[in-house]
Amino acid sequence: MTLQNISKSDEGRYKCSISGKGESPESWLAVVKPQTGPDEEAPHLRGQTKTVILLRVSLTAVLLLLIGVILIRKHKSTANSFQ
């Protein structure tokens, strides 16, 4: 079992208690550094993350370009109405 966001201070004796059923014997919980990092554990997620970032950047660029075109057209039509 892997627990996330823990520190060495969480190491110690733990037990489970279920009301009406009793308690388990105490067990020692050791905190150790994982042998592999998150990227190495799930290499398929690395590609998905890059795809999501690329998609977000692309959509943002298209949105900014669209806003720019709309503002330029609006500015030109306003300038033409004053002439």
Q: What is the pLDDT of residues 41-82, one digit of tens each?
A: 556 656 678 888 899 999 999 999 999 999 999 988 887 776
Between CA 17 and CA 26 the distance in angstroms is 10
Question: How many CB atoms within 10 Å of residue 43?
Answer: 8
64 with 47: CB under 8 angstroms? no
pLDDT of 48? 72
Q: What average pLDDT score do residues 32-47 get?
A: 63
Q: 3-state SS string over 25-61?
A: CCEEECCCCCCCCHHHHCHHHHHHHHHHHHHHHHHHH
22-23 and 27-29: which strand pairing?
unpaired
